[in-house]
């Protein structure tokens, strides 16, 4: 009888350990076929950064430094300081801070960082995966997005914009959008989709687009939640997405969409990026 009880106890403990491990893995590592290797069926990896070094790779990224925010009535001063962007433990951190900061463009009361791959990573068509934890709080506006490198059709929004991931405040929704001359938020015609991601500020998720000459699919953890179709009219006003684009990573503070932070908004607030991977379709 005593031996039977001991066996039951041992089995129960083993099951508990197993279930606990499974629960932890599920919470911090959503399904992603590219986590453990660089293979993706039908695609070839052409550019990546897994942030395994001790500093930001200057051959892949440059800081956009300015004190004018990013437009849209934003409040931050974008800097190249280590306080606002750094690599640690295999992750890129982009940190928004509440502080008085004065430099060439004047004084701001929030700082952050905006990194871009322009002329270091530029692509026409493919799949872009970014695995990240994003900050949440009133007045915060993290984004993973793309702009044209050469602006061949003209200034914004004529040459286009692809927003892989945007999130504002403490809402549960992730937004994916495009901007063109015909479709943009300035005239109320923006094309956009959204998906609820309850734990985006505490767990990693993979934010992606697949982009080809016919359409752009927006995904979270491989789930397509919005598709923007090429109308096939040969019109750059609706489809300027036949030119090369580069990637931008930033955390904005304030602005027309999220509104301003409040005293309850927690700073520092960080977007933590595990990797960026860019694939081209295999012929």
Spatial separation of the C-alpha atoms in residues 279 and 187, rounded to whole Å: 33
Spatial separation of the C-alpha atoms in residues 90 and 80, rounded to whole Å: 19
Active-site residue (options: 74, 166, 181, 270) = 166
CA angle 214, 220, 223 (to 5 degrees): 65
DSSP string, 201-230: TTS-EEEEEEE-SSEEEEEETTEEEEEEE-
- Is 270 designated active site? no
- Is 64 designated active site? no
Active-site residue (options: 74, 100, 161, 270) = 161
Residue 55 burial class via C-beta count within 10 angstroms: exposed 0-12, middle 13-18, buried 19 and up:
exposed
The helix/strand/coil state of 19 is: helix
Catalytic residues: 161, 166
């Amino acid at each position: 009888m005593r031996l039977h009880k001991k066996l039951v106890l041992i089995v129960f403990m083993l099951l508990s350990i197993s279930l606990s491990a499974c629960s932890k893995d599920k919470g911090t590592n959503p399904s992603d076929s590219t986590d453990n290797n660089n293979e993706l069926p039908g695609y070839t990896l052409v550019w990546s950064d897994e942030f395994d070094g001790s500093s930001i790779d200057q051959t892949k990224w440059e800081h956009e430094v300015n004190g004018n925010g990013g437009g849209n009535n934003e409040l931050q001063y974008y800097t190249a300081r280590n306080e606002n962007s750094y690599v640690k433990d295999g992750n890129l951190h982009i940190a928004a801070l509440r502080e008085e900061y004065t430099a060439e463009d004047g004084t701001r009361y929030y700082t952050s960082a905006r990194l871009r791959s322009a002329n270091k990573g530029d692509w026409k068509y493919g799949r872009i995966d970014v695995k990240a934890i994003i900050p949440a709080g009133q007045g915060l506006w993290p984004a993973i997005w793309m702009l044209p490198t050469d602006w061949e059709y003209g200034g914004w929004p004529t040459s286009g914009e692809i927003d892989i991931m945007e999130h504002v405040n403490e809402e549960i929704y992730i937004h994916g959008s495009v901007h063109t001359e015909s479709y943009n938020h300035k005239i109320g015609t923006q094309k956009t989709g959204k998906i609820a991601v309850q734990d985006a500020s505490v767990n990693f998720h993979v934010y992606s687009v697949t982009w080809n000459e016919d359409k752009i699919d927006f995904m979270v953890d491989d789930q397509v939640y919005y598709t923007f179709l090429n109308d096939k009219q040969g019109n750059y006003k609706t489809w300027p997405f036949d030119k090369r684009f580069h990637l931008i990573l930033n955390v904005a503070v304030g602005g027309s969409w999220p509104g301003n932070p409040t005293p309850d908004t927690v700073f520092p607030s960080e977007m933590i990026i595990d990797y960026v991977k860019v694939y081209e379709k295999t012929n």
